[in-house]
Chains A and B, each alone.
Chain A
Amino acid sequence: MLKKEDIMHIAQLARIGLKEEEIEKYQRELSLVLDYFKKLEAVDTENIESIGHITGSHSVVRDDKIIECEAKIIEEIINNFPDQKNNQVKVKSILT
């Protein structure tokens, strides 16, 4: 079973705020699913490479060219900013 500290650590990594009462719920639920995953230990994967792109395409690149964005799209992107100043997205201070 995952420890309380494990859940708090994962939540911090995932940037999800947790209420005290949720911690125990996650301990139970995540442990249950992780136990289920143990099934995979039975599979011999010695010398098996982990899979990349499923249909085998690789290294898809585009020309290094600037493609201008339509003004209307720019405007709508800015409209979606929760907070903005001079058409820039405004964020809170990182250090307090």
Chain B
Amino acid sequence: MIRQLHENLKSGKVTSVELTQKYFDEIDEKDKNILAYLTLHKEEALAEAQRIDDKIKKGEEIDLLSGIPMALKDNMCVQGGRTTAASKILDNYIAPYDATVVKKLKKQGAVILGKTNMDEFAMGSSTENSAYQKTKNPHDLNRVPGGTSGGSAAAVAGGLAVYALGSDTGGSVRQPASFCGVVGLKPTYGRVSRHGLIAMASSFDQIGPVTQTVEDAAIVLSRIAGRDKKDATSAKSGGKLYEDYLQGDIRGMKIGVPKEYFSDDLSSEIKEISIKALEKFKKLGAELVEINIPHNEYALPVYYITVPSEISSNMARFDGIRYGLSVDDQEQSKIGGGNLLETYLDSREIGLGTEVKRRIMLGTYALSAGYYDAYYKKAQKVRRLLKQDFEKAFESVDLIFSPTAPEPAFKIGEKTTDLLQMYLSDIYTVTANLVGVPAISFPIGTVEREGKNLPIGGQLMGRWFGEEELLNAAHTFEIN
């Protein structure tokens, strides 16, 4: 899709301004129902589009992403723009600088249409935890788009952006991509700089593209990846163009099928679609290998101990002092002195939503004196065992396949009352973040619900820093 639009821009078939305007028209018409966007950057977007059009007119070379309209999840900073992470505590926050990914995209001449909705501070699985609005799934407006990058996935699926960036801590790019029938990539931990991404759980967070095709994901990844001095955890990489690795040939590739992922807990219809996808991989020349991830059943508890622990630490910065909401109302205060402690207590009580507070509380408990060893330390040990399971698995296979989510998009409100049920939506996706490997979700079929066809995503996980193989396999599946 991006390559085609790029050709159209270069040949003069369409201008970037026309293309950008077309997307804003679509947003005007459809986004009142989908509610994917929180903020639009109309003026800046059209100015950038004009700049690219001028370059094309002058015969200058432009990059693949130049002049292409895209969207950013609202937890990435754009200088001078409102950046809320869908939280009331950042309602008035104006980012003073560009996130590294934004800087890179701007350098390529990307046209940023606006900022998309998400679960508050990227905590949730349905985008229902946004403090502002509930984004709808374009395939069925009664259903959630998934989360936490639900706005980004809905925007791409609904034709409101060519592509978008999301962030993925435990499936937040892949699960909404699965629910919305688009492609979502979580790169290897460290592949993309996190500088300027509002932190949730720092040892898990990765920024990744949400796109219509696997090739688009490769094109976007090539342009946002790389070592960044401002993120000490970012990894060196040699400026690869991932789109050059999409040979469309996976003969001889070994795809691991973990027994644990296809247990009786998996619904028969998702299982059936997954098996069909595996058969297709086999037909394309891949070899299917049954493997074991012995510690897989512990992935979710490990995730829900370590992530809230990191959250409780990261969220300490929202204290009503340096930016964001600061509650300075004597009547709000319980003790009635208006001191610093009350600013903390009241700003956080009023500014943060339920799920955010719940996770801060949980993490604070897991890290508190007397419980640290039993929860956090224990979880970090099991996390190592899980990583070892993956190292062992990748000795015999190149990629690992699973469904992305145990079900299609669920109804709005269906799971908001059942905490553990909501957490279970992440069962196939958290592991990639726990062990740091790259993973991609791509459409593998649909199921019918109340007369509507709902997309189902398949997930491939690859070796650490093995995005080439991962993208090539998903691409080969997609074009055949």
A interface residue numbers (CB < 8 A to B): 6-7, 10-11, 13-19, 26, 29-30, 32-34, 36-37, 39-41, 43, 45, 48-51, 53-55, 57, 60, 62, 73, 76-77, 79-83, 89, 91-96
In the complex, whether B132 has a CB less than 8 A from a CB of chain A is no
Q: Is the interface of A mostly helix, strand, loop or mixed?
A: loop
**Residues of chain B within 8 A of A91, CB atoms compared:** 321, 340, 343
B349 contacts partner chain A, Cβ-Cβ < 8 Å:
yes
Whether A16 lies near B348 (C-beta < 8 A) is yes
The 3 closest A-B pairs by CB, nearest first: A17-B349, A82-B326, A76-B96
Asked if B343 and A92 make an inter-chain contact with CB atoms under 8 angstroms apart, the answer reads yes
* Contact among B302, B328, B360, B420 for A33, CB-based, below 8 A: B420
B97 touches A14 (CB 8 A): no
Given A15-B344, A33-B304, A57-B190, A51–B387 Cβ distance below 8 Å?
yes
Q: State in angstroms the CA–CA spacing of A39 and B300 once bound together.
A: 10
* Minimum distance in angstroms from B231 CB to a CB of chain A: 9
> Given the complex of chains A and B, what is the CA–CA distance between A83 and B338 in angstroms?
14
Is the C-beta of B203 less than 8 angstroms from some C-beta in chain A? yes
A43, B342: Cα distance in complex, Å: 42
Question: Is the beta-carbon distance between A37 and B348 smaller than 8 angstroms?
Answer: no
Q: Which of B340, B345, B378 contacts A93 (CB 8 A)?
A: B340
A41 CA / B302 CA spacing, docked (Å): 11
- Beyond A43-B295, A54-B203, is A26–B96 a contact (Cβ under 8 Å)? no
Instruction: From B338, B345, B381, B419, give the contact of A16 (CB < 8 A).
Output: B345
Q: Which residue on A lies nearest to B318, using beta carbons? A: A15
Chain A nearest CB: distance from B383 CB in Å?
A: 5
Besides the contacts A15-B319, A26-B361, A30-B358, what 13 more A-B pairs have beta carbons closer than 8 Å?
Answer: A10-B368, A11-B361, A14-B364, A17-B334, A30-B365, A43-B381, A50-B383, A50-B384, A55-B189, A57-B233, A73-B97, A76-B96, A92-B343
B59 at the A interface (CB under 8 A): no
List of B residues within 8 angstroms of A11 by Cβ: 361
**A6-B435 Cα distance, complex, nearest whole Å:** 32
Query: In the complex, A69 Cα to B320 Cα: how many Å?
Result: 23
The reply on B459 being an interface residue by CB < 8 A is no
Contact yes or no, A80 B364, CB < 8 A: no
Contact present for B326 and A83 (CB under 8 Å) = yes
One digit per residue, 1 when the CB lies within 8 angstroms of any chain A CB and 0 when it does not, for chain B 167-210 equals 00000000000000000000011100000000000010000000
| Smallest Cβ-Cβ distance to B323: which chain A residue | A80
Alpha-carbon distance A29/B93, docked complex (angstroms): 31
Q: Is the CB of A80 within 8 A of B93?
A: yes
Residues of A within 8 A of B339 (CB): 92-96
Q: Which residue of B lies closest to A15 (CB)?
A: B344
Per the 8 Å Cβ criterion, residues 274-299 of B in contact with A are: 295, 297-298
- Whether the Cβ atoms of A37 and B305 lie closer than 8 Å is yes
Report B-chain residues with C-beta under 8 Å of the C-beta of A7. Answer: 361
User: In the complex, what residues of A have CB within 8 A of residue B316's CB?
Assistant: 15
A93 to B361, CA, bound (A): 26
Q: Is B301 an interface residue (CB 8 A)?
A: yes
Contact between A48 and B80, CB atoms less than 8 A apart: no
Q: Report Cα–Cα, A73/B77, bound state, in Å.
A: 13
Q: Are A49 and B385 in contact (CB under 8 A)?
A: no
Listed A/B pairs (22) with beta-carbon separation below 8 Å: A7-B361, A13-B364, A15-B319, A15-B341, A15-B345, A16-B349, A16-B357, A17-B349, A29-B419, A36-B304, A37-B304, A37-B305, A40-B382, A48-B384, A55-B190, A73-B96, A80-B322, A80-B324, A81-B322, A91-B343, A93-B339, A96-B338
Q: Report yes or no: B188 in contact with A82, Cβ–Cβ below 8 A.
A: no
* A92 x B383 contact (CB < 8 A): no
Q: Give min CB distance, B60 to chain A, whole Å.
A: 27
B97: A residues at CB distance < 8 A: 73, 76
* Interfacial chain A residues near B96, Cβ < 8 Å: 73, 76-77, 79-80
Determine the chain B residues whose CB is within 8 A of the CB of A57 once the complex forms: 190, 233, 235
Report chain A residues within 8 Å CB of B348: 14-17
Q: Which residues of B contact A55 (CB under 8 A)?
A: 188-190, 235, 436, 464-465
Given contacts A80-B93, A80-B322, A92-B343, contact A18 B349 (CB under 8 A): yes
A51 and B384 contact, Cβ closer than 8 Å, known pairs A40-B379, A94-B339: yes
